[in-house]
Every structure is written in C-alpha cells, then in structure tokens.
C-alpha cells in the first residue's frame, strides 16, 4: 500500500477480512478499528493522522525486513525456475502492437470532435465563400484577362488557406498524443515505429474526408471544368496538399518540446510555401539562386498540378488588357480597332512563364509523394530521438 507521493506504508498479505493489515496498524499505534467499520475506510483515516509517519514506521518494521530478506534470497538463488527471463522486448509482436496503436489513435480521433468536426465545418464554409465569388460568372463564353487572373488567385488561396488550417489544428492533438506516447515508451509498452505508422493511418481518413468535401463544394460553386478527369486531378492534388500540411505539422510538433516553437516552424513553412508556390512571385521571375527554393517548395507542385490539370486545353476566349504581358504575347498593338483575344490555355502559359505544363503532372504527383514520405520519416526519427517527457 502506498501513501500520497508513492511511498510504501504496508506490504504483505491482507489476511482474512484484512486482519493482517488491521493488526499491523493497531500494533504500531493506530486507534483500534470499531466493530462493523470497513477496513478500507478505516485505513484511509489512519493514514490521515498527521502525527504519525507511517513511511518511517514501515521502514523500521519486521515486515519490511522480511520482504528485503526474501528479495535477497531470490537474488542469490541458483534455481533457474525463479529467474525472470523475457524472450522479447515487448509482450506483443510488431503487428499486434501496430494494430493496437491504430485502434487507440482511431479512438482518440473519434473522441476529438472539436478537431475533426471543426475542420470539416470550416472547410465547407471556406470552400463556399471562395467559390461563390465566381458563382455568377461560371462557364462564361468569353473571359476578361482580370477574371482569369482572379480564378488563378482564388485557386491559390484555396489550397493555402486549407493548408494553414490543417497544419495549425493538428498541433494540439499531436502534442497530447506525443506526451502520452513518451510515458508509454518509458514504461516499455511500445516503440516509436508503432506510433509513427499509426499517426499516418489515423489522420488519413480525415484528410480524405476534409479534402473531398472542400473540393466538391469549391469546384462546382466556382464553375470549373465539367470533366471527371479534371475533377479527379484537382481532388488528388488538393488532397496531397492537405496531407502534406497535416503531416509536416505532426513532424514539427515531434521535433520540438513546446507548442510555441512548433508554431514558429509552422509559420516559416507556411511563409515559404506562400512565397514560392508561383503566384506571389511568378515562376519566370525566380531565377538564379531563387530557383532552388522554388523547386524545393511543395506548394509549387500543388499549384502547378491544380492549374495545369484544369486549363491546359481550355480554349475559352480571353480578352487581353492593353499593355499586359498577355497582350504583348498575342502581338497586339494599342489602338487597334478589334479586341485582342487569346485563350485561357495561352493566358495560363503566359501567366506562369510557361513553367506550368500538363506534361509535368506525373512528376508533380511523384514530387508530392516524396514530400509525404519525408514528413513521415521526419516524424519517425523525431519520435525515436527525442523524449521531452523524461527531461
């Protein structure tokens, strides 16, 4: 029996009706138990006596000496039958541990409605707000250059906003899971591999759900192409984006000790992704050294996939604004009587300096797959190396 603070005050057989326990405390100065009183309740009242140090009493007792002598005898015994041997590090095999951890995280996520239901509702609301900007301009026979520019900007905002939502909301959930894991690892219950794998499995279904709901509302509200192939490509790249932000959020939370530091890492990641994705600074203007972060930024591949898959063959006419790059590309001259007109596909090519190409879509998907693998590996080694709970 332990008192508050984890110190031993009694050890041994309780005896019939807790007779051994009662006799021990009465023998060492406790008030006698009254007839009909529950020994468990009486024991708690005895321990509340501030005038008696039951920890020191037990240390000086015959019961304590008997236990120590018994332990010493067992240590010195040559009887192999009394030795405690473990054939494996863990009580369950690798597959069973992973299965148990998957079930546990599934339950944790299911019991986190503020996290999962919150991001589902927010994603639907944001998708409708962004898509409704163009709800009266869907499927127009002719676009102005500024309208196409607005469509490209809205697509950019959609994956950036959902990425920020994903990476910020995953941090508190990951912090709670991580700290519980460290305590379990110290107790020898499991290793980092089981948690690293389970995190990906538990998050995956919610990533797909959030992405699917967002794309369904956003895509048709905005009036993008009525093509199953283009819709599937848009959904796939958008899902990649949500997954990358979510998994990097998990990795950042495992790399550092506190929430504040993880939020700083997330802010840096968000800022770099915003700047080098291809809208704030167009790809054609990123030359020299600045090509390196452009090619190392996951948002670049997401944006290229979303834009190229939608507009690579779009022949909808676009009226160019005088003096713009698109106007000059069409070899138009200011003051000419007829309107300067090109296509959406041409405008997108000029917009990004012909850096976004439909032929690159497969490479974009492979690159995003590598980013996902890198985020999972980063989480794996962070869980393996760091143990803030023990510090």
pLDDT, tens digit, for every residue of 106-155?
888 888 888 888 889 999 999 999 999 888 777 788 899 989 999 999 99
Q: Considering its fold, how many domains does the chain have in total?
A: 2
Q: Which of 35, 58, 82 is the last residue of a domain?
A: 82
- Is 54 in the same domain as 144? no
Per-residue pLDDT at 354: 84
Six-digit token string for 208: 């797909």
Whether 72 has a pLDDT exceeding 90, the answer reads no
Whether 319 has a pLDDT exceeding 70, the answer reads yes
- Is 26 in the same domain as 154? no
CA atoms of 12 and 19, how far apart (whole Å): 12
| 312 assigned to some structural domain | yes
Six-digit token string for 342: 């090109």
- Is 147 in the same domain as 239? yes
Six-digit token string for 130: 């962004």
Domain extent at residue 24: 2-82
Nearest to 386 by CA among 178, 143, 244: 178
Write down the pTM of the prediction.
0.76
CA atoms of 313 and 336, how far apart (whole Å): 28
- Is 192 in the same domain as 56? no
287 φ, ψ (degrees, to nearest 5):
-115, 170
Whether 184 has a pLDDT exceeding 70, the answer reads yes
Per-residue pLDDT tens over the stretch 13-41: 888 988 999 999 999 989 899 988 899 89
Q: What is the mean pLDDT of the chain?
A: 88
CA atoms of 214 and 235, how far apart (whole Å): 9
- Is 70 in the same domain as 208? no
Whether 355 has a pLDDT exceeding 90, the answer reads no
Beta bridge partners of 84: none
- Is 381 in the same domain as 235? yes
Average pLDDT value for residue range 324-337: 83
Q: Which of 48, 82, 116 is the last residue of a domain?
A: 82
Per-residue pLDDT at 337: 62
| 90 assigned to some structural domain | no
| 34 assigned to some structural domain | yes
- Is 338 in the same domain as 375? yes
Going by pLDDT thresholds of 50, 70 and 90, the confidence category of residue 391 is very low
């Amino acid at each position: 029996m332990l008192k508050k603070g984890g110190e031993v005050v009694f050890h041994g057989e309780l005896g019939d009706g807790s007779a051994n326990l009662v006799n021990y405390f009465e023998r060492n100065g406790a008030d006698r138990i009254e007839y009909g009183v529950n020994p468990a309740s009486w024991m708690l009242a005895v321990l509340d006596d501030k005038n008696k140090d039951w920890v020191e009493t037990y240390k000086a007792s015959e019961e304590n000496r008997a236990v120590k002598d018994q332990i010493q005898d067992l240590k010195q015994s040559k009887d192999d039958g009394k030795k405690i041997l473990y054939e494996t590090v863990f009580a369950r095999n690798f597959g069973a541990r992973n299965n148990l951890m998957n079930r546990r995280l599934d339950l944790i996520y299911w019991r986190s409605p503020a996290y999962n239901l919150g991001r589902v509702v927010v994603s639907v609301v944001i998708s409708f707000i962004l898509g409704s900007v163009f709800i009266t301009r869907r499927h127009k026979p002719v676009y102005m250059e500024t309208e196409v520019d607005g469509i490209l900007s809205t697509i950019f905002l959609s994956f950036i906003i959902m990425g920020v939502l994903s990476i910020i909301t995953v941090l508190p959930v990951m912090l709670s899971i991580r700290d519980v894991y460290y305590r379990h690892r110290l107790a020898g219950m499991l290793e980092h591999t089981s948690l690293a794998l389970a995190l990906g499995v538990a998050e995956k279904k919610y990533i797909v759900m959030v992405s699917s709901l967002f794309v369904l509302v956003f895509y048709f509200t905005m009036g993008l192409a009525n093509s199953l192939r283009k819709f599937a490509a848009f959904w796939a790249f958008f899902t990649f984006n949500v997954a990358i932000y979510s998994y990097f959020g998990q990795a950042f939370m495992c790399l550092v000790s506190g929430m504040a530091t993880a939020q700083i890492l997330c802010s840096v990641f968000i800022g770099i992704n915003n700047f080098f994705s291809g809208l704030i600074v167009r790809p054609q203007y990123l030359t020299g050294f600045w090509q390196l972060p452009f090619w190392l930024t996951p948002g670049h591949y997401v944006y290229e996939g979303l834009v190229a898959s939608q507009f690579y063959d779009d022949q909808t006419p676009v009226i160019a604004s005088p003096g713009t790059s698109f106007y000059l590309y069409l070899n138009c001259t200011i003051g000419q009587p007829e309107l300067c007109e090109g296509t959406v596909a041409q405008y997108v090519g000029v917009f990004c300096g012909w850096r976004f190409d439909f032929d690159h879509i497969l490479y974009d998907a492979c690159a995003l797959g590598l980013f996902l693998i890198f985020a999972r590996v980063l989480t794996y080694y962070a869980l393996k190396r760091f143990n803030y709970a023990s510090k």
